[in-house]
Structures are given as C-alpha cells and as structure tokens.
Amino acid sequence: MIVSVVLNGLSCSPKPGRRVLGKWKQSNFDQSRTLEFFSEGTIIGTTGDDAKPSVGKYVFLDERRVKIDMGSGPMMMVVEFQDGGSYMLLLDSEHSPIGTRYRRVK
C-alpha cells in the first residue's frame, strides 16, 4: 500500500523542462530574438520581425541541462529561471558567468 502511494506521487511530479514551455523574448543584446518551446520537443527561433523562423528540437537531459538542435548541430545549454519563472537565462555551461536572458511573453 505504501509503495503504491510513493509510486503514484512520483508519476505526478512535473517533468523536467515543463517550465520552459511557451514563448520567450530576448531581454539583453538583440531585442528582436524570440524562442518558443512546445511540449513535443519542438523549438522555434526568430530574429527580427521579418525573419524566417528556424525550427529545431530540444530535449532536457536533467532539471537544468537542455540539448538544443536548430539544424547546425546540437548545443548543450544550462537553463536557470529567475523571478519566479518570468525570466529564463540560457548559459553555455554550468560554470559560465554570462548567458542570454529571455523574458516570458506567453
């Protein structure tokens, strides 16, 4: 009985990467870049108002590390959420002091 309760609790816990779902706009450097994450593992990136979107795939390897492939080869990134999930910081590595900050749009 106790085992089934524990297992049911584990199956209801949120999957890694659920917080990233939705549209994000870059809030430092180039103000026109957006990323949109979909639940099936698709990511769409745009730069500029008239730019053709780039479509790729992403997969979370654990709670913080994500592999993103926009067609030019996979990139490993580290995701940090700030201000209660209103902002997302994408870092090149866990030890990188600088990252690209995005603001949640929807």
Residues 62-85 have pLDDT tens digits of 888 899 998 888 888 889 888 888
pLDDT in tens, 8-67: 333 344 465 788 999 999 987 656 789 999 999 999 998 877 678 999 999 998 888 899
Torsion, Cα 90 92 94 96, to 10 degrees, reads -100
Domain boundaries, the chain: 17-104
103 compared with 16, residue with greater pLDDT: 103
pLDDT of residue 9: 36
**Tokens 């990134």, located at residue:** 77
11: left (phi over 0), alpha (psi -120 to 50) or beta: alpha
Among residues 57, 70, 71, 53, the alpha carbon closest in space to that of 17 is found at 57
Residue 105: DSSP 8-state? -
Q: What is the pLDDT of residue 16?
A: 54
For 17-104, which CATH class? mainly beta
